[in-house]
Amino acid sequence: MSPAPDNRQCEVAGSQAASTINVTVVRSNFTDSLIAHSAVGLKTLGVLLVFGQFHVKIEAHMKRILFFSWLLVALSVQAAGKQSRPNILFAFADDWGRYASAYAKVDGRPSPNDVIKTPHFDRVAREGVLFKNAFVTAPSCTPCRSSLLSGQYFYRTGRAAILQGAFWDAKIPSYPLLLADAGYHIGETYKVWSPGTPNDAPYGGGKFRFEGSGRRFNQFSQNVTRMVGGGKSVPAAKQVLYDEVMGNFGAFLKARPKDNPFCYWFGPTLVHRKWTKGSGKKLWGIDPDSLKGKLPGMLPDVPIVREDFADYLGEVQAFDAALGLILEKLKAIGELDNTVVVVSGDHGAPGFPGGKCNLYDFGVGVPLAVWWPGKPGGRVVEDYVNLMDLAPTFLELGGVKPPKVMTGRSLVPVLQSKANGIVDAKRNWVITGRERHVAQAREGLLPYPQRALRTPDYLYIINFKPDRWPMGNPYNLTDDKAPDYNTLANNTFVTYGDLDASPTKAWLIEHRNEAEWRWHYDYAFGKRPREELFILKDDPDQLKNVASEAKYAAIKKKLNAQLMAELKRTNDPRVKGDGSTFDKPPFVAEFKRPQRNKNSKQKKE
């Protein structure tokens, strides 16, 4: 063999990348090589060895050895680039407000979190980070999801900013499709983005759906109760639905290309009404009376409401049980240690005053726990988080640069920190809002426009049209006449259409003329002043509006300036021009619920 040459160079070229090129220097006894590879979605790799001037001649077989050696190195770099990106599991429950047993220790006062049991959410929080102050941008399904998927405030997403009548603009970048373009295997089960046209558009419009095992889990208490009535035991009936969840997830995993990281959306609707009355106790052992003295202050603490809330918590526990099964599957296949797990809900409780469709904490506050294996865990973080922050977070985890249009801020620095409490001092406020929910809730198909600023000390709300009814018009209702209890409990649209039909809604309307409950009724359905201000240290449930008190004038002025500055900076149509964009077509167009397949029973959004 000829002696080793003094001047040895080898260039490796021909890589195609989806984003910024990184350069890795690889050394051997014969040559130095620059291997260019992408950290994100390397699609193809060509290898070309160009030998420079050598002091001695290299034999042909030696060239072949060098070529294939460098090819193996380059391919190993490509594989390492894929494997270095974590999987992403996002478990997202419909209508799940901030209720999980992990919060019981941090609440500092009695609440339903003392009653509910969510061991798998708690595990994610214990191994990772529990966020105390997580909020949605809008307490309504479609606009909340528009915000989350796009990484922007809901009001920046065009017709996707409303519920009924929503339309997705394909020009808006969404994090799942960006990750798919970057080489992620993406998939979703149950609800992602609806109601809206095209259904689930920001997640591929059904292209990445995995529901071959069924959708019955979405109506958990109804289906379990039905099977128990047919002779099955409660555990056996539950297992049928758990098997469906795992069948869908298993199909997603089976379809995954080898070595590709995955991003999976688990989005069941069981926490959304309707539920089977009494199922919280019958299926989960939640005694309604255990909630006595623990309900939020705006809710009547009476047996019907306690049972209604217990049933709600039961559906959350079913969601949590399914989450546990998914985590165990990931552990069994050796993927859990390379999976970032994020668990949350899309807004507050439905069919309860102050919840869904309201900007109080009961409506916009949500649970959030994030487990990133290998990063500092066991932490409770008080930074204020808006769920639109998840899109840039997921993209950064996947090595994709978030588009400049995104107004959310990545949580990656917070997740990498070792600190408890406040990590980023600038994360000390969030903005929330709403426009149209149910199309026919008001005459003229009009919305109830609101925006709010939430800080550690205050909640400040602007109701832009205080002459409108916040929960919709009181159709079919007078002082002495009302629809019957069964209708009120089951038909959302019969009156006050922005508050879901429920036993709680029916009970309140039936007792509206009784002095003991008049305040609760007015709180739920009455018109509101243009401004609301709540002092949180004195009023954590946000029940006493002090906006009209002179001693808070300076505070109110400061909060108003901060809120309006952010709305203008981010081009909110509600504060641009005459502010009437959302009050005109196409935002106030008629809405017709799309026809569904007779064999596909889904809950109303």
Sign, CA dihedral 471-473-477-483, equals negative
Asked whether the beta carbons of 347 and 366 are under 8 A apart, the reply is yes
Alpha helices per DSSP H over 372-450: 390-397, 412-416
Whether a cis peptide bond, with omega within 30° of 0, leads into 447 is: no
- State the angle between helix axes of 220-229 and 303-332 in degrees (0 to 180), rounded to the nearest 10: 90
Cα separation values, 520 from 293, 298, 348, 589, Å: 16, 6, 18, 33
Asked whether the beta carbons of 206 and 193 are under 8 A apart, the reply is no
What is d(CA 128, CA 370) in angstroms, rounded to the nearest whole number?
A: 6
Which among 318, 162, 138, 310 is positioned nearest to 238, based on CA atoms? 318
In this prediction the pTM is 0.86
What is d(CA 154, CA 160) in angstroms, rounded to the nearest whole number?
A: 7
What is d(CA 48, CA 67) in angstroms, rounded to the nearest whole number?
A: 8
Positions of the chain with pLDDT lower than 70, given as ranges? 1-83, 593-605
Q: Mapped to the 3 state alphabet, what secondary structure does 252-317 carry?
A: HHHCCCCCCCEEEEEECCCCCCCCCCCHHHHHHCCCHHHHCCCCCCCCCCCHHHHHHHHHHHHHHH
Q: pLDDT tens digits for 67-79?
A: 555 555 444 434 4
Domain ranges of the chain: 9-81, 86-215+243-426, 439-583
Cα separation values, 138 from 3, 538, 604, Å: 72, 25, 18
Asked whether the beta carbons of 503 and 304 are under 8 A apart, the reply is yes
Rounded (10°) CA dihedral 71, 75, 76, 79: 180
Residue 407's contacts (CB-CB under 8 Å, 6 or more residues apart) are 151, 152, 153, 156, 388, 570
SS3 489: helix
% the chain with pLDDT above 90: 83
Residue type at 401? K
Asked whether the beta carbons of 522 and 515 are under 8 A apart, the reply is no
Residue 357 backbone phi and psi in degrees, to 5: 75, 20
Q: Which two tokens stand for residue 224?
A: 């379990």
Q: Which two tokens stand for residue 484?
A: 């019957």
Rounded (10°) CA dihedral 452, 453, 454, 456: -160
Asked whether the beta carbons of 498 and 438 are under 8 A apart, the reply is yes
* CATH class for the region spanning 86-215+243-426: alpha beta
What is d(CA 12, CA 551) in angstroms, rounded to the nearest whole number?
A: 71
Residue 157 backbone phi and psi in degrees, to 5: -105, 25
Which among 529, 365, 519 is positioned nearest to 461, based on CA atoms? 529
Residue type at 148? L
Cα separation values, 591 from 166, 500, 519, 545, 586, Å: 9, 18, 33, 35, 11
Other CB atoms closer than 10 Å to residue 367's CB: what's the count?
25
